[in-house]
Amino acid sequence: MKKILFVAFVVSAFACKSPGEAIAEAVAEAAAEAATGGKVDIKDGKITVKGEDGEVATITTDKEGEEGSVRITNNKGETAQFGVGATLPEGFPLPLIDGAKIVSSTKSEGEEATFHIIAEVNKSPKDIADFYVEELKNKGFNKVQRTAHDMGTGSMVSLTTNKEKTQVAVTIVHENKEEKSVMTIMWTAK
């Protein structure tokens, strides 16, 4: 009976993909299960991990190389996106400055709601900072601390503020040899 089940498994596994792909998938699943202690399923460009504690995380990929992207979600509503096609997390409390391209974004909820984005934009750190100072003031953050640094090879501007149980940090970095500035926004609310 075991031989029949084994043959049925092998035939069904190879029916939809090449033998090499099926073997690689099975090996990857076994290695991931051994490392995580959970159940791992790899199927159609999607990896689902079910932990012993009931948490489920799904990793999906789209395309490859510089055009590729990765999205991670779990059953707690937390998300992370990286690469081409990354977007603002649902409920992100600030607008995105015109022309900005999201490189990565995360959202986690629990005792604290935390949003974190990294974006590139063809604007100076000063212009980006001016935009976000105004947006933060519109949201009731009356005291926004601004710090600017000339680093020789580039510049950096940091904004920090808090109100009640919410903290916000915006950091903008620009290297002289690059056209784009890179900005990071972290928003944490308890």
Please indicate, yes or no, whether residues 30 and 112 belong to a single structural domain of this protein: no
What's the domain count of the chain? 2
| Residue 59 maps to a domain | no
Count Cβ atoms below 10 Å from residue 90 Cβ, excluding itself: 10
| Residue 69 maps to a domain | no
Q: How many whole angstroms separate alpha carbon 183 and alpha carbon 106?
A: 14
| Residue 66 maps to a domain | no
The CATH number given to whatever domain includes residue 166 is: 3.40.1000
Report, in angstroms and rounded to the nearest whole number, the Rg of the chain calculated over CA atoms: 22
Q: How many whole angstroms separate alpha carbon 119 and alpha carbon 175?
A: 15
pLDDT tens column, 17-74: 444 444 445 545 444 544 556 676 666 667 777 777 777 777 777 766 566 667 677 7
Residue 87 near residue 74 (C-beta atoms within 8 A): no
Both tokens of residue 37? 């202690």
Question: pLDDT higher for 1 or 54?
Answer: 54
- Residue 165: which domain range? 76-189
79 class by beta-carbon count within 10 Å (0-12 exposed, 13-18 middle, 19+ buried): middle
At 10 the pLDDT is 34
CA quadruple 152, 155, 161, 166: dihedral sign: negative
